[in-house]
Amino acid sequence: MKKHIVKILVLSVSLGLSLTSFAQRDSVYQLSVDEMLGMVRNNHPIAQQANLKIQNAESYERSAKGGFDPKLEADYNNKFYNETNYYSNTTGAIKIPTRSPISFKAGYDLNDGKYIDPSDQTPDDGLFQAGVSLPLLQGLITDERRTQLKIAEAFTQYSEAEKNALYNQLMYEAYGAYWNWWNAFERTNVAEEMIIIASNRFEAIKQRALAGDRPFIDTVEAYLQQQLRQQQLVEALIMEVKSRYYLSGFLWNDNDGKPEGLIVSEKAIPQNPSGIEPAQLTEYRLASFSEIVNQSHPEIAAYDAKINQLEAEARWKQEKVKPKLNLEYNMLSTGINSTSDNGFSTNNYKWGMTFSVPIFLREARGELQMARIKIQDSEYSRDLKSNDLINKASGTFENLKLIRQQLQIAESNLNNYNQLLNAERERFFNGESSLFLVNQREMAYADAKTKVIDLKSKLEMSGIEVIYSLGQLK
């Protein structure tokens, strides 16, 4: 029985899929590991969502920087009653906050009227002022604007770490789907090989039985073996179809900017495992797993970003424990059309100070204590996670070496089973053995071959799992 015929049967009957509906969707006919990863990395919706997290963080940081944008202000008030101008007040100003404690301000005032407050009177051309404001206690080290910017910068780091974590998980699952497909594909090949052997033997025994060289009961056993192996082939094909469609869930194409799912064709052939450690893993073996995890694992980077946010908040809460003492100083000058000689100088000024402090400071101290507790809690969680990741990576690396040893033993066993099978077939041909013993040898050989397939796919995934545990799949 040809492989593609059985596959069509499985697709049509077992899974209820028609060839017409299959042909309506895009197909990938040749698929290597690198091609698969390229499709996942470039077009998978989760990968696109990960990129959106960076864009969102950049927008948040841009919003926080807006707290330092210069601001224009203007105000006009006038009261006119019973043909009397009580007052007319015009003010305009530009305020320039900086990333230091100092803020700059420049303004213009023009006030007149019969009942205006004498302290608000200005020359006929108005009065210019330019000065600075400076917090001397609370707000000197940091303030709310600078704190929000630090939080936004840490949020960008957190989003980058979150993106890398998504990529790491997505790539690991894609690798797993690919080698699971290869495993099912190779198991199907083994099942095909066994059914061909069983079919050929049944025909040979039937002819020999008709010729009187074999008892007819042997044809019954040979036919039962053929049926059993047909059933095993269908089961293998079902697993192959499932694994192929599961892998298809990771494959997407960019159709004019819109992601479009792909289907792996039944004609596609997976790439064989290389049996060689990934080059990336070879590089990491030269470094300390602890160093890699603590410096570049996305989950640890996310903890570090969170701690940076909490520390920025704690610094601001530390500032709020201090009293408020703010200084403002402005030099004054008359309008540009004035004939007077009163330009900006230290002889013409306006200044002031404000001071306030809660008597008990219970609110500020309570918030500061809570902030410090959150930092400690996050640091404990980070250390715990770091230790867990390092142990997982180390354990996976040791497992990799053991699987390699298992594969060597399994390949040696396969060679031995093959020799026993060939010897048993020769004995059977010479009439010195039974069909039962030949079947037993063949099943043992098939099991050994399947074991090698399993270990090859496990070996390939073990190398990937070490890199995944280190958070470096991208």
What element of type H or E holds 205? helix 144-210
d(Cα 219, Cα 205) in Å, to the nearest integer? 6
Q: How far apart are CA 299 and CA 392, in angstroms?
A: 14
CA distance 413 to 462: 22
Which pLDDT score is estimated for 234? 94
162, 165, 170, 176 alpha-carbon torsion, rounded to 10°: -170
Tokens encoding 77 = 């008030």
How does pLDDT run across 43-69, given as a tens digit for each residue? 898 988 888 899 999 998 999 989 899
With a cut of 50, say whether residue 245 has pLDDT above it: yes
Among 185, 158, 198, smallest CA distance to 306 is for: 158
74-131 pLDDT tens trace: 999 998 888 888 989 999 999 999 999 999 999 999 999 888 888 888 888 889 999 9
DSSP-derived secondary structure letter, 407: H
Tell me the CATH architecture of domain 3-64+146-309+375-469.
Answer: Up-down Bundle (1.20)
Tell whether the model's pLDDT for residue 3 goes beyond 50.
no
Closest CA to 410 of 455, 356, 459: 455
CA distances, 276 to each of 46, 272, 455, 457, 467 (Å): 29, 11, 13, 12, 14
- How far is Cα 123 from Cα 276, in angstroms, rounded to an integer? 87
Q: What pLDDT score does 308 carry? A: 95
The pLDDT score that the predictor gives to residue 337 is 54
Residue corresponding to tokens 């497992």: 399
| The most confident of 259-263, 273-277, 295-299, 421-425, by mean pLDDT | 295-299
Give the per-residue pLDDT at 427.
Answer: 87
Q: What's the whole-number mean pLDDT along residues 132-159?
A: 92
Structure tokens at 134: 């400076």
- Tokens 């990333």 correspond to 99
Confidence tier at 276 by pLDDT (50, 70, 90): confident
Hunting for tokens 């400076």 — which residue is that?
Answer: 134
| Backbone dihedral angles phi then psi of residue 459, each to the nearest 5 degrees | -65, -45
| Residue 273 · residue 459 · CB < 8 Å | yes
Ranges 338-342, 404-408, 467-471: which has the least confidence: 338-342
**Dist. CA 179–CA 270, nearest whole Å:** 9
The overall average pLDDT reported for the chain is 86
Q: Which residues contact 196 (CB under 8 A, 6 or more apart)?
A: none
Going from N- to C-terminal start, the domains of the chain cover 3-64+146-309+375-469, 73-100+102-138+324-359
Which strands make up the sheet holding 127-135, listed edge to edge? 71-81, 84-97, 103-112, 127-135, 324-334, 349-356
What is the spatial distance between Cα 447 and Cα 453, in angstroms, rounded to a whole number? 10
Residue 17 has pLDDT above 50, yes or no: no
Q: What is the pLDDT of residue 19?
A: 28
* Each residue's pLDDT tens digit, 206-236: 887 887 777 788 788 888 888 889 999 999 9
